[in-house]
Amino acid sequence: MHPTLLCLPLLASLLLLCHPARAECEPATCGNLTVRYPFWVGGPDLNRSSSAISCGHPAFEVWCTGGVASLRGSQILVLSIDYNSSSFVAAHKRVADGGDGVCRTDFNISSSLALSPFTISSSNLAICFLYSCNGTEPPEIDGLVNATIPSCSKPIYAYLGGSYDRDKPPAIQAGNCTYSYLPVLWPDSPANLTAGANYSPQFKKGFVLEWQKNGFGDCDACNATGGQCRYINDSAAAFACLCSDGKLRRSTCPGQEDVRSSCLKLRVC
């Protein structure tokens, strides 16, 4: 396709020429975290109506509160990001907060992540919990331990399933208990759990989520040609490269010669 066909309508170009460098799209830090494309720092006060041109895909919007990053202010915290492998370590506030998260594992974490473009890495282990056993004993399962700690209001039992698969629960014999399973980063070999241990600190370490690198454009290539990475939040929802001539292109910026010729035609601001 011819490059000019890929440029946005003139109105958007005009807006960009007047506001070429939106400060919130620059790489930023939040606590120890470096936030850059496809992640970007937004917040509750962001003016979302001003333009369809966003710093990034909505799902990668990070809110930074007191040095703690969360996905759009949700319960999902972002602990670290590995841009090379397109993955990040996340934790769920419900179980990561405080020292007794194991008492609050009775929920379905998949629903918190269901609408996002992220996948839960199969490098996580599934830790399974049985609770509310209706006054009966939990079933006898290899490796099942009593994980109740004094602050829990009801008994809770745990064992390690295999690799976490969001869509395929570990084979669970729950007996008269209800169950949940959460992804956790686990040190190398899956050892057995220890009865009476407090597994709450494990939830502070979080679990690994991945994103599809190709799905969000090649920011490095855009940057290498002097462009800034953006995302057009319209019905086509796609990556765009904001070039020094104020125009948006789908991949990279043209060389100097091309810039000069298009500037002559379109520079208005």
Quickly list DSSP for 33-79. Answer: EEE-TT-EE--TT--TTS-SEESS-GGGEEEEETTEEEETTSSEEEE
The least CB distance from residue 206 to ligand NAG, in Å, is 11
Q: Are 130 and 118 in contact, with CB atoms under 8 Å apart?
A: no
As a 3-state breakdown, the chain gives helix, strand, coil percent values, each rounded to 5, of 20, 30, 50
Among 10, 18, 99, 143, binds ligand NAG (CB under 6 A): 143
Find the helix or strand (DSSP H, E) in which 209 lies: strand 207-210
The least CB distance from residue 24 to ligand NAG, in Å, is 10
Which residues between 38 and 57 bind ligand NAG (CB under 6 A)? 47-50, 54
Instruction: List CB contacts of 231: < 8 A, sequence separation 6 or more.
Output: 38, 53, 54, 55, 56, 57, 216, 217, 237, 238, 239, 240
Rule CB under 6 A: say whether 215 interacts with ligand NAG. Answer: no
Among 2, 11, 32, 188, binds ligand NAG (CB under 6 A): 32
Rule CB under 6 A: say whether 73 interacts with ligand NAG. Answer: no
Pairing of strands 248-249, 145-146: unpaired
Beta-bridge partner residues of 125: 163, 184
Total binding residues toward ligand NAG, as defined by CB under 6 A:
36
Nearest to 104 by CA among 168, 166, 151, 165: 151
**Which of the stretches 90-98, 138-146, 243-251, 256-264 binds ligand NAG when contact is defined by CB under 6 A?**
138-146
Rule CB under 6 A: say whether 84 interacts with ligand NAG. Answer: yes
Q: What does residue 77 show for φ and ψ, rounded to 5 degrees? A: -90, 145
Question: Which one, 111 or 214, has the nearer CB to ligand NAG?
Answer: 111
Among 18, 74, 137, 162, binds ligand NAG (CB under 6 A): 137
Rule CB under 6 A: say whether 117 interacts with ligand NAG. Answer: no
**Which of the stretches 3-11, 133-141, 207-215, 254-262 binds ligand NAG when contact is defined by CB under 6 A?**
133-141
Among 142, 171, 188, 257, binds ligand NAG (CB under 6 A): 142
SS3 category, 89: strand
The least CB distance from residue 90 to ligand NAG, in Å, is 13
Rule CB under 6 A: say whether 18 interacts with ligand NAG. Answer: no
Whole-number Cα distances in Å, 189 to 123, 141, 160, 167, 181: 12, 20, 11, 23, 19
Among 176, 212, 256, 261, binds ligand NAG (CB under 6 A): 176
Rule CB under 6 A: say whether 251 interacts with ligand NAG. Answer: no
Q: Are 151 and 103 in contact, with CB atoms under 8 Å apart?
A: yes
Interface with ligand NAG (CB under 6 A): 27, 31-32, 36, 47-50, 54, 58, 61, 67, 82, 84, 108, 110-111, 114, 134, 136-137, 139, 142-143, 146, 148, 155, 169, 175-176, 178, 191-192, 223, 228, 233
